[in-house]
Amino acid sequence: MKLNLGVIEVPEPEGGTSYTVGVDLEKNYALFSSFYDAHEKEIADFIAEDIARFGINVANNNAPSDPFAETGSEVTEMLHKFITTREVETVARPIFPFIVPTLAAQEGLTLRTSKGRAIKRYRKGMSTKEVKGAPRPSFMYSGVFEASLKGWISE
């Protein structure tokens, strides 16, 4: 049995896919590893509950096709909350190349507020005020990545 944390691969608005974004975020920020480290006990409890529920269903001749569907659903929801509630910005992690919260999140840059201006700002010295929005959670730039997050159990 294996816990999988990842994304449903869909195109990102500015190129690439949610998969490539996920790989980059794990490499640079340990996003998925940090989530697992912070929620290992809860995930183990969900798996134990699914195993117990599966045993009861087998005893009643009513075994589901996916005995870990509930765990997958719970882990997916927890992963979304990990980002949207900014918990990801508070967990301790080993030294990685980039810092959380991200500068883009602190400046409120999103696909809607930047429209490419973020790159121009850094290259041409535009005023931060021209592109700054309300601070947002890290890793929520376009909405595509966080909408594609998924947790599931495989054999």
pLDDT in tens, 54-74: 898 888 888 777 889 899 999
* Cα distances (Å, whole numbers) of residue 12 to 17, 84, 140, 141, 153: 5, 19, 12, 10, 25
pLDDT score for 121:
46
pLDDT in tens, 71-88: 999 999 999 999 999 998
Confidence of residue 29 (pLDDT cuts 50, 70, 90): confident
Tokens of 27: 């490499």
Q: How many CB atoms lie within 10 A of CB 110?
A: 18
Q: What is the mean pLDDT of residues 22-48?
A: 93
pLDDT score for 93:
64
